[in-house]
Amino acid sequence: MVEQIRARGGAAEALPADTAKEADVERIFAAAEKLGRIEAMVYNTGITGPNSTLAEAQPETLSRVIEVNLVGALFCARAAVRRMSTKTGGKGGSIVLISSRAAVHGSPGEYTWYAASKGGLDSLVIGLSREVAMEGIRVNAVSPGTIDTGIHAPGRLDRVKPLMPMQRAGTAEEVTAAVMFLVSKDASYVSGANIAVAGGR
């Protein structure tokens, strides 16, 4: 991806980081600022841990999923607001959090803790969008349904396909299209929204 951006004349860097660590998040934002003003921040980090019931889940799985999916989003959103807010000399911007339709369905028997972490993101979008509405910052979410990516356990896509109204999984490109709309000027009056990219489910 970095090579593609540079080939088109853009500037890009890929940095390894643990978003559950505040120091790593600050390092990412500091590096981003060297490339120019931060106008958009998309939090697309998410892990599930091994599939199981909640009763069978290991404590390390629960803690790590909440740390990465929710605490990491809080750290990144806070860092973005501090740089974008017109209250602190910024020029505004757009924050998009990648949630999940799992927050609505609950993911019983698979990863309820993942669903809970994404439910936290949904609440964050509501609260933060109102908190910074007068600071030039828009905050929205995209909630993918079943998307054909490596996050799924082997065989899961085929197993859940009958549950999908469109009888197919979505693509990363379809999720990206929704994100690009939300960070664009076409969405200048859209804040606090949560767009489901889930094929009707």
- pLDDT (tens digit per residue) in 87-117: 999 999 999 999 999 999 999 999 999 999 9
Q: For the ranges 4-13, 19-28, 151-160, which has the lowest average pLDDT?
A: 151-160
Rounded Cα–Cα distance for residues 134 and 145 (Å) = 31
Rounded Cα–Cα distance for residues 168 and 104 (Å) = 19
- pLDDT (tens digit per residue) in 168-180: 888 999 999 999 9
Burial of 15 (0-12, 13-18, 19+ CB in 10 A): exposed
The residue type of 68 is: V
Q: Which pTM does this prediction carry? A: 0.93
Give the pLDDT of residue 163: 82
Q: Which domains does the chain have, with CATH numbers?
A: 38-197 (3.40.50.720)
**What are the residue numbers of the active site?**
114
Give the pLDDT of residue 104: 96
Q: In 3D, which of 17, 73, 9 has the Cα closest to residue 35?
A: 9
Pairing of strands 93-98, 137-144: parallel
